[in-house]
Amino acid sequence: MQNGPDPALPLLEVRGISKSFGAVRALREVDFTLRAGEIHALLGENGAGKSTLIKVVTGVFPRDAGIVRIGGEEIAPRSAKAAVAAGIATVYQEVNLLPNLSVAQNLFLDRQPMRFGVVREGEMRHRAKALLADFGLDIDVAAPLGNYSVAIQHVTAIARAVDLSARVLILDEPTASLDRHEVEILFGIMRQLAKRSIGIVFVSHFLDQVYEISDRITVLRNGRLVGERETASLPRLELIRMMLGRELAETTNERAAAREHKTREICASFENYGKAGYVAPFNLELRRGEVVGLAGLLGSGRTETARLVFGAERADGGKARVEGAPVRLQSPRDGVRHGFGYCPEERKTEGIVAELTVRENIALALQAKRGLHRPLSRREQDEIARRYVKMLDIRPPDAERPVGLLSGGNQQKVLLARWLATSPRLLVLDEPTRGIDVGAHAEIIRLIRELCDDGLSLLVISSELDEIVTYSDRVVVLRDRAHVEELAGEAVDVGNILAAIAADSVAVALEAHT
């Protein structure tokens, strides 16, 4: 379309981009190169820095360091609008269009064809139809966009982006809510756009799709660039290792000597527990003083399992038992009543109450458990807060400080303290070390060990395989929303987990070839 880009020059060049949010370093000197006419997959687990990278490139976040060049020219967009003007368009998973407007209005909002101050509705529809025809869509463009499926909304968003003369198209998890047929249509469009020399960045956690569509792959992990490879020459196991595996320079894996309390009594057990379309039925036993790790890729059903176990989501089949007695877990209240605690992954939105003080945050769950008619006295609250601030070494040791002002690691400790105050028998921790600096990281791991030495059971989700191997007695591996393998004792190591995660994908890939 454009005056043929110089093949020697990469279309989009990102060099040494760094970005911190407070104490958290979201990106560290990340490079990224996109050629014209290629489909480039950007991969990494949650928190790897994919979204941050996209938002920095598209001007949503200002960057701390580094440069972005498009067609050899340095750009520094300060808003999404400026990025579009520079030729970078982004289509997010949540379609950023207006469902209440017609398809045609969405395509031409703020640039409708006009005559005498009046929108030429007929002309606009005509152009909209022509534009969508390029993408293989033949729909009534006068109908509200919201009437159409997510797939059509995505295509409309892409059509709008491309029509705004995009040279770089960033697709952030475009296939997450599409069915197989719709994905095929989207891929067809992507290939067609690539032929027109548009560079496409494809963010996805569906590895099969990545192998199907992408030319090259860039993997991020913990805000750093792990590597950039040709898709065709990158085995799947190697890719998963890049996403989850340890960095070479990291310390050796010091797995705790196999602990001897395997025979302890069962704390909670789940039999054929599951929910249709959420997580396939699973069996899970949690013994006293034991840490069970949940490993798997993003979207494999780890968090879903945790939410079922805690009662945040209702199971539609199977039995749950606490110390042998059958129980019903219909709501988080039930979970709390049976002595369960849950520290969610989204600390900021689902966990802490940033405006409240450390003391109030810690007292929350205990108060909820006791019921509103038996308020905790201020003295009791002070006492509890003092105990846990000391025990967990929360810094600064000021119980009256709003939690929002604490660092990520200390916020995590406050969350832990909140549940510990209720003397739980089982704690579910979803990514307890996400977004925490290295020192606090080690401390959280030490705490996890100490807690289970005291007889607490823990169910821990983590994308850090080294970490999960370090503290878990057993590891359950998930894939495609099902529990596929359980590793115990000597079998718990990074290699086995990787193999279990990759096994099915490899099998599928083999099947596809035969």
Q: Is 151 in the site for another protein (CB under 8 A)?
A: yes
Q: Is 324 in the site for another protein (CB under 8 A)?
A: no
Q: Which is nearer to another protein, 22 or 146 (CB)?
A: 146
Among residues 1, 2, 6, 96, the one that binds another protein under rule CB under 8 A: 96
Q: Cβ(371)–Cβ(394) under 8 Å? A: no
Q: How many residues in the shown chain lie near another protein by CB under 8 A? A: 45
How many angstroms separate the CA atoms of 70 and 74, rounded?
6
Instruction: Tell me the sheet residues that pair with 42.
Output: 203, 218
Q: How far is the CB of 244 from another protein (least distance, A)?
A: 33
Q: Is 388 in the site for another protein (CB under 8 A)?
A: no
Q: Which is nearer to another protein, 155 or 243 (CB)?
A: 155
How many angstroms separate the CA atoms of 458 and 452, rounded?
7
Q: How far is the CB of 360 from another protein (least distance, A)?
A: 27
Q: Cβ(288)–Cβ(459) under 8 Å? A: no
> Which of positions 255-274 make contact with another protein (CB under 8 A)?
none
How many angstroms separate the CA atoms of 228 and 40, rounded?
10
Q: Cβ(266)–Cβ(285) under 8 Å? A: yes
Q: Cβ(370)–Cβ(442) under 8 Å? A: no
Q: Cβ(56)–Cβ(76) under 8 Å? A: no
Interface pattern 422-461 for another protein (x via CB under 8 A): ----------------------------------------
Give me the torsion for CA of 119, 120, 126, 128, rounded to 10°.
Answer: -10
> Which of positions 14-33 make contact with another protein (CB under 8 A)?
none
Among residues 11, 53, 97, 284, the one that binds another protein under rule CB under 8 A: 97
Among residues 4, 117, 277, 326, the one that binds another protein under rule CB under 8 A: 117
Among residues 7, 62, 122, 146, the one that binds another protein under rule CB under 8 A: 146
Among residues 18, 46, 112, 269, the one that binds another protein under rule CB under 8 A: 112
Among residues 78, 191, 370, 390, the one that binds another protein under rule CB under 8 A: 191
CB within 8 Å of 94: residues ≥ 6 apart? none
Please calculate the CA angle 226-228-230 and round it to the nearest 5 degrees: 140
DSSP H helices, 311-434, are: 332-337, 358-370, 378-391, 408-420
How many angstroms separate the CA atoms of 203 and 171, rounded?
6
Angle between helices 438-453 and 408-420 (to 10 degrees): 10
Q: Is 144 in the site for another protein (CB under 8 A)?
A: yes
Q: Is 184 in the site for another protein (CB under 8 A)?
A: yes
Taking CB under 8 A as the binding criterion, the range among 39-47, 104-112, 373-381, 447-455 that sits at the site for another protein is: 104-112
Q: Is 118 in the site for another protein (CB under 8 A)?
A: yes
Nearest Cα residue to 237 out of 192, 152, 297, 287: 297
Q: Is 99 in the site for another protein (CB under 8 A)?
A: yes
3-state secondary structure of 213: helix
Q: Which is nearer to another protein, 109 or 256 (CB)?
A: 109
Q: How far is the CB of 161 from another protein (least distance, A)?
A: 10
Q: Is 277 in the site for another protein (CB under 8 A)?
A: no
How many angstroms separate the CA atoms of 151 and 508, rounded?
25
Burial class from Cβ neighbours inside 10 Å (0-12, 13-18, 19+) for residue 153 reads buried
Q: How far is the CB of 351 from another protein (least distance, A)?
A: 25
Q: Is 102 in the site for another protein (CB under 8 A)?
A: yes
How many angstroms separate the CA atoms of 168 and 301, rounded?
33
Q: Is 111 in the site for another protein (CB under 8 A)?
A: yes
Q: Is 310 in the site for another protein (CB under 8 A)?
A: no
How many angstroms separate the CA atoms of 379 and 6, rounded?
72
Q: Is 165 in the site for another protein (CB under 8 A)?
A: no
Q: How far is the CB of 165 from another protein (least distance, A)?
A: 13
Q: How far is the CB of 216 from another protein (least distance, A)?
A: 22
Q: How far is the CB of 361 from another protein (least distance, A)?
A: 27
How many angstroms separate the CA atoms of 197 and 270, rounded?
53
Among residues 13, 182, 313, 443, the one that binds another protein under rule CB under 8 A: 182
Among residues 36, 48, 189, 459, the one that binds another protein under rule CB under 8 A: 189
Binding site for another protein (CB under 8 A): 80-81, 84, 96-102, 105-106, 109-112, 114, 117-119, 121, 135-139, 142, 144, 146-152, 155, 160, 181-182, 184-185, 188-189, 191-192
